Structures are given as C-alpha cells and as structure tokens.
C-alpha cells in the first residue's frame, strides 16, 4: 500500500489504530510465551525477553517519532529538580532593578496658582511630589564628534605642542572603538548580519559599507586574539574539563552549489568555554586538542577520545551520564533498562539536593563519595552479572 497517496485523515487514523492493535497482539503473544518458558528453559526465556524488549522499543520509537514531545525528560525526572514556587498571578507592575533611574520634574508653567477655597497664592511645598513610574525608550544616537586638540606654543615661537587625542583602534581610524565594539556585539551576540546593520545605520543618517564594518571587526579580532590564547590556557589548566563536538555547516562557493560540514570542538569548565572550528572530526583533532591537558575529561562514547587517551596518559576519561541515559531510554520497558534509569534518576536527585544546599567543592566531593559512589558501584556490579547477546541493541546501551 502506498501511504503517500492517502490524503484522507480518517483512513490514516484507521490504519494507525489497526497497526497499534496488531503490535499489542504480538507483544501479548510474546509475553505469554515468555511466561510459559520461565522456569523451564531460562536461556530461551531470556532470548524471548530480549526480543520482546526490542519489539517494544521499536514500537515506542515509532510512536515517539510521530506524536511524542522532543524532550527526553520522563515524568519522574521532575523529582530530580528543585521545586520552584509558582509566582503569584496578578496585574501589578513588575520590578525593573536593572534599568537606569532618571528623575523628571514637572512644574506648573504659569504661576501663580490660586487656592480654590480662599483665593490665596499657592507656594512650592519643598521635597513633596506625587510619584509615578513610566518605562521609556531612548533611541540610540550616532554622533559625529569633532575633536579639537588644544595647541600650546612658547613665546619664543620655537616650540609648539598639541594635546593628545582619543585612542584609536588603528591609525587614522574614522570610527571610534565604541562604534567597533557595538558592531561586534550586534553581529556575534545578537546575530545581526553586517548588511542589516548597514541598513540600520542608514535609518540613523550614517552612510557606511559592509566592507568598512568588516575592517573594524578584523581590528577588534586582532586585539582579542591574545585573550583567546589565554582562554585556552585557562581552560586546560583545570583538573576537570568537559568536551564535545558538533557539526557546523559552511556555505561552499556558488559554483559548487552545496554546503560543506565542518566541526566545532568544545572544551569547557565551570566559568569558561573554548571553541575550535575544524574541518575534521578525526582522531588527530582530539589528540591535538588534548595533548596539553592533564586531568579528567567528561565525554561521550566517541572513539577519538579513547585514542587521545592512548596518546596522552595524563588523561582520565569520565563518560557523560546524559548520553548513557539517552541510550537506555528506548529500553525503559525492559526491567533491566528500567533499573538503570532509576539509578540515574536517583543520582540526579542527589545532585539536585547538593545544589540546593550550595555545597562548596570539597563538600560536594565528599557528598558524592558518600552518596553517589556507592550507588554507582552497586550498579556496575549488577551490570557485570548480566549476559546480553552483542547482537541486541540493549547490549550496546
């Protein structure tokens, strides 16, 4: 049957209901067979249980792709997070402590003002006002500054000196350092392309080209390059570092007519992040980025990190629990998968409690030694007792 030709929603709904019903029937038969084999042939029973888990995983994956939410959070995961009190609903004004406060005084233009009761002239009541608040928008303004540098001369006429002018991004730069920083912030923080900035400046009365803006961005990059090198040194100086990589699409030339995938390698600590853009996701890149590091690297199961550890014996790999949990989630219907998920949820709850208590780093380390470590050691001992054929996806998870 060609489902692409079916446009009637009711027909598709009927087919889906029939498919779900048939899937439930097959799972019921597998469960019945499993119950009959339990206690008689444990080997076949275990194989049948794995097959049942695989069917349920495929069924759940299909339903998730069609109707499920994109989030990986499960219902019980909410217990792992500190509960926040819901804000009270109402129509009162919202406080704005970050805004600059400006007092605007209002006075009666035509004095004197007479009393409506006795006819006497009103006088100003010192320091007494009727207050109200108003949030206003003051549009940014481009200003052409004319710097007048004072000259000094000697009465003898042989010596003339001039006051120093403002600092420039580069010699004879027409635009200020503040202007260049504004362009950089608009582009890299608020993702506003240079062409769009040119249009915005045009509305404010400034005629400028994208080439000029790019020249100033390059000058800013030259100033920040030493800081970028120091940032990498700072990240690598920590004893624990997280690392990951993600794809980055680059537009090829118009003649090629297609895009090329590069990779952004991320190295991060609690208060700093360093990004490296590279066309490769190979072992060589991981080795290069980790060759000067000594400590623990939190990673997923990507093979190049293991190769980098072979090249640098000062590295200890600690695999990410979020990735491990993601691999096991499709097997939540299997008792073994459910047990692993419960342990991970318990570990998340312990971390949430530690966050609520605002433990210092030494206290947090001791907390994990007393609470989390025994929990995971028991999990690993139990995993070592399982015998799952390597052909099943649960084995990989």
What pLDDT is recorded for position 126? 85
User: Which pLDDT belongs to residue 317?
Assistant: 94
Q: Which residues pair with 249 in a beta bridge?
A: 261
Tell me 83's DSSP state: P
Q: Residue 255: is its pLDDT beyond 50? A: no
On whether the CB atoms of residues 389 and 395 are closer than 8 A, the answer is yes
> Full-prediction pTM beyond 0.85?
no
What 3-state class would DSSP assign to 250?
Answer: strand
Handedness of CA 148, 154, 157, 159 (dihedral sign): negative
Query: Could you tell me which residues are beta bridge partners of residue 298?
Result: 242, 318
Q: Using alpha carbons only, how large is the chain's radius of gyration in Å?
A: 34
| Residues 260-309: tens digit of each pLDDT | 889 999 999 989 999 999 999 999 999 999 999 999 999 988 899 999 99
β-strand pairing of 151-153 with 160-162: antiparallel
Render pLDDT for 242-251 as a digit per residue (tens, 0 to 9): 999 999 887 7
Q: Could you tell me the CA-to-CA distances from 20 to 4, 54, 210, 366, 377 in Å, in that order?
A: 19, 16, 57, 49, 40
Q: What residue has token string 């049957």?
A: 1
């Amino acid at each position: 049957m060609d489902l692409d030709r079916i446009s009637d929603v009711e027909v598709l709904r009927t087919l889906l209901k029939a498919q779900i019903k048939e899937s439930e029937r097959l799972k019921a038969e597998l469960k019945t067979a499993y119950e009959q084999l339990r206690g008689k042939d444990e080997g076949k029973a275990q194989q049948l249980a794995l097959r049942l888990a695989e069917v349920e995983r495929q069924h759940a994956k299909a339903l998730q792709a069609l109707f499920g939410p994109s989030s990986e959070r499960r219902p019980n995961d909410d217990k792992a997070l500190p509960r926040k009190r819901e804000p009270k609903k109402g129509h009162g004004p919202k406080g704005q402590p970050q805004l600059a406060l400006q007092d605007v005084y209002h006075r009666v233009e035509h004095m004197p003002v007479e009393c409506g009761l006795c006819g006497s002239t009103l006088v100003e009541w010192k320091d007494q006002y009727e207050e109200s608040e108003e949030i206003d928008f003051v549009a940014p303004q481009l200003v052409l500054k004319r710097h007048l540098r004072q000259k000094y001369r000697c009465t003898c006429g042989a010596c003339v000196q001039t006051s120093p002018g403002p600092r420039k991004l580069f010699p004879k730069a027409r635009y200020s350092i503040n202007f260049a920083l504004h362009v950089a912030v608009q582009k890299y923080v608020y993702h506003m392309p240079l062409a769009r900035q040119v249009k915005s400046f045009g509305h404010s009365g400034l005629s400028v080209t994208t080439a000029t803006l790019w020249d100033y961005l390059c000058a800013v990059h030259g100033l920040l390059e030493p800081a970028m090198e120091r940032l990498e040194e700072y990240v690598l100086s920590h004893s624990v570092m997280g690392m990951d990589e993600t794809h980055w699409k680059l537009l090829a030339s118009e003649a090629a007519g297609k895009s090329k995938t590069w990779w952004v390698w991320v190295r991060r600590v609690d208060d700093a992040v360093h990004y490296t853009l590279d066309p490769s996701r190979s072992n060589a890149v991981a080795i290069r980025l980790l060759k000067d590091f000594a400590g623990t690297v939190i990673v997923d199961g990507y093979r190049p990190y293991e190769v980098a550890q072979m090249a640098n014996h000062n590295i200890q790999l600690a695999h990410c629990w979020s990735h491990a949990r993601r691999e096991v989630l499709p097997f939540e219907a299997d008792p073994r998968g459910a047990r692993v998920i419960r342990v991970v949820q318990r570990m998340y709850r312990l971390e949430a409690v530690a966050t609520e208590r605002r433990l210092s780093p030494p206290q947090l380390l001791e907390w994990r030694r007393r609470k989390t470590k025994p929990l995971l050691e028991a999990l690993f001992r139990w995993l070592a007792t399982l015998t799952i054929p390597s052909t099943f996806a649960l084995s990989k998870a």
